[in-house]
Chain A
């Protein structure tokens, strides 16, 4: 019984982490209509930056949260540069843009390998969140519970951004109908840069937040990207609610799958995605069919 409860809590934690990754992915997919194949690499880059800041760089050791924000900002800048310099070269050609993001993901992954080497890097759990939580016979690491809280806070902030701010309204308009949005004077291409940078920031933030749980290692990009893809296809493109639901579903399927059918775990994971693509291509809450 405790085993299943522990597995469930871990599933929710993993789902929370996935949400941080998927939220950025779904915004980019919703607005720019492309699956950002660089997303996994941005996650990894954020994790490596964060790990370096936390473990000490140039003699300075950064506070975990500052490292996280700094890392997210750096990767956001990188994302903005990629969008302006490269994706802009092939405007209105989603296929070409997807291939560009694919190429960049290889470059980023290799640069990370070159810069940080092949061994996994541990990210220490932030002070104040060390320790455990006891609920009856169950014991959970405090940090894992905290991740759920962090994801919830980020989720609420994102929802406020999209729902209550002017820029959020413009993004929503762009997601619903990019042509119409242009017609009413919204500079959709400017929004592209902002959303791509925001998505990158979220991925990077997720990377460092996930650091104490997953560590950072070469290949974590190829581990995260397919998961983000599945969550967004399941939840629906451009939908924040979809990302929440999708992340939780995938979090559970992934963890339970690993525990129950390890040989087919990957297969089980992609099955809901395939089913959705076959039966309801716009996903549970999606705005359009990819």
Chain B
């Protein structure tokens, strides 16, 4: 327990002091991106990792919150009003998304979420009067809470860090809670959960709402960061990227989506600097992870660590034998 606490303290210190030792605005900005993409991945992880419901349309909801922010600002809302509206609108959209998608699970769920994600993309692309179509919506300026302008990359970093910390705290509490345990139960044995007295659909619905909250928050940070939103931010590639963040880090773990987001953002930033082949790399990493390390980097490395440092034969082999059916 103390080792974990120590690691947490070190991580906190590193993150809080980051702008001081990370020289260069560019790197602070990358750090900000990692933070809000991590929130996005944590949001998807609620239903995909803990709920067992893989969504290929999550970028659609991310985009809805982003568009809502940009649009309301453009028509004259204050920053506070825009953010509140975007969060609420995003949650409502998620509720509708959930009602449609939760008719199915497994492959059916993937297909419905893919379709809904495409519909949202199609609306963003075609409903030019509202979304500006391919041209997107430009934004001007960031909020100034308590007189601190978030236009400064350093201030924005701390704002992202704050949202990130709240998201991680919320997830930690949720995962340990009865509702969290119930959600994981529905992932592993939905039929049995039903027979035990749980309302499987409603549990999943609440999980979707939590996911929607985190996803909308990250969408709002995204659009404030970029000062711009276009349909590209919510296409299938974007949904695939956030899913990759979740599964590459480790679906159904707390640390996994954070590690995954770091991996994807860093590789994307670094790679884009040298070659244009990000999409190829995205696809290749996807296939590699699914085939070679489906549990993700965090559980995968933990397993390898344990194997490497064991003196007695690993219990892993015995586990596998028992898990037969």
Interface centre among B103, B247, B287 (most CB of A within 10 A): B287
Contacts of A269 in B (CB 8 A): 122
Q: A96–B290 Cα gap in the complex (Å)?
A: 6
Q: Type the 1/0 row for A10-25, where 1 means its CB is closer than 8 Å to any CB of B.
A: 0000000000000000
Contacts of A108 in B (CB 8 A): 283
Q: Would A90 and B291 be within 8 Å (CB), given that A106-B279, A262-B126 are in contact?
A: yes
Contact partner, A86, options B115, B118, B285, B291, Cβ 8 Å: B291
A134: min CB distance to chain B, Å? 35
B115:A273 contact, CB within 8 angstroms: yes
Spot the interface stretch: B63-71, B80-88, B105-113, B301-309. Answer: B105-113
- Asked if A100 is an interface residue, CB under 8 A from chain B, the answer is yes
Contacts of B119 in A (CB 8 A): 266-267, 270, 274
Q: A206–B280 Cα gap in the complex (Å)?
A: 24
A-B interface pairs (CB < 8 A), number: 129
A105:B283 contact, CB within 8 angstroms: yes
Contact partner, B104, options A222, A263, A277, Cβ 8 Å: A277
Interface centre among A90, A106, A263, A266 (most CB of B within 10 A): A106
Contacts of A63 in B (CB 8 A): none
Q: A233–B116 Cα gap in the complex (Å)?
A: 14
Nearest to B117 among chain A residues (CB) is A226
Q: A55–B54 Cα gap in the complex (Å)?
A: 43
Contacts of B54 in A (CB 8 A): 95, 99
Contact partner, A290, options B107, B121, B235, Cβ 8 Å: B107
Query: Which residues of chain B (282-325) have a CB below 8 Å from chain A?
Result: 282-287, 290-291, 294
- Asked if A208 is an interface residue, CB under 8 A from chain B, the answer is no
Q: Would A99 and B290 be within 8 Å (CB), given that A33-B107, A94-B107, A110-B283 are in contact?
A: yes
A110:B277 contact, CB within 8 angstroms: yes
B286: min CB distance to chain A, Å? 3
Q: Would A290 and B240 be within 8 Å (CB), given that A103-B287, A264-B127 are in contact?
A: no
Nearest to A270 among chain B residues (CB) is B119
A277:B108 contact, CB within 8 angstroms: yes
A281:B104 contact, CB within 8 angstroms: yes
Contact partner, B122, options A35, A114, A270, A278, Cβ 8 Å: A270
B103:A278 contact, CB within 8 angstroms: yes
Q: Binding site of A, secondary structure by majority: helix, strand, loop or mixed?
A: helix
Chain B residues within 8 Å of chain A by Cβ, number:
42
Nearest to A279 among chain B residues (CB) is B103
Q: A113–B111 Cα gap in the complex (Å)?
A: 26
Query: Which residues of chain B (214-262) have a CB below 8 Å from chain A?
Result: 235-237, 240, 243, 247
Q: Type the 1/0 row for A77-103, where 1 means its CB is closer than 8 Å to any CB of B.
A: 000000000100110001110111011
Contacts of B106 in A (CB 8 A): 94-95, 290
A214: min CB distance to chain B, Å? 18
Q: Place the interface of chain A in its size category.
A: 35 or more
Q: A32–B315 Cα gap in the complex (Å)?
A: 35
Q: Would A263 and B128 be within 8 Å (CB), given that A94-B106, A95-B106, A270-B122 are in contact?
A: yes
- Asked if B179 is an interface residue, CB under 8 A from chain A, the answer is no
Nearest to B292 among chain A residues (CB) is A89
Contact partner, B103, options A90, A99, A113, A277, Cβ 8 Å: A277
A100: min CB distance to chain B, Å? 5
Query: Which residues of chain A (109-128) have a CB below 8 Å from chain B?
Result: 109-111, 113-114
Contacts of B116 in A (CB 8 A): 270, 274
B76: min CB distance to chain A, Å? 24
A278:B100 contact, CB within 8 angstroms: yes
Q: A220–B114 Cα gap in the complex (Å)?
A: 17
Contacts of A277 in B (CB 8 A): 100, 103-104, 108, 111-112, 115
Q: A124–B110 Cα gap in the complex (Å)?
A: 38
Q: A287–B152 Cα gap in the complex (Å)?
A: 58
- Asked if A152 is an interface residue, CB under 8 A from chain B, the answer is no
A270: min CB distance to chain B, Å? 5
Q: A33–B56 Cα gap in the complex (Å)?
A: 17
Q: Which residues of A contact B (CB under 8 A)?
A: 33-35, 86, 89-90, 94-96, 98-100, 102-111, 113-114, 222, 226, 229-230, 233, 262-267, 269-270, 273-274, 277-278, 281, 289-290
Please name 6 pairs of A and B residues whose Cβ atoms are closer than 8 Å in the assembled complex, sorted by A: A104-B287, A106-B286, A110-B283, A270-B118, A277-B100, A290-B107
Given A103-B285, A277-B115, list of 16 further CB < 8 A pairs? Answer: A89-B291, A94-B106, A98-B107, A99-B54, A102-B283, A104-B287, A105-B283, A106-B282, A106-B286, A107-B279, A229-B115, A263-B129, A269-B122, A270-B116, A278-B100, A290-B111
Q: Which residues of B contact A (CB under 8 A)?
A: 54, 56, 100, 103-104, 106-108, 110-112, 114-116, 118-119, 121-123, 125-129, 235-237, 240, 243, 247, 277, 279-280, 282-287, 290-291, 294
What are the nearest 3 A-B pairs in CB distance? A266-B122, A106-B283, A103-B286
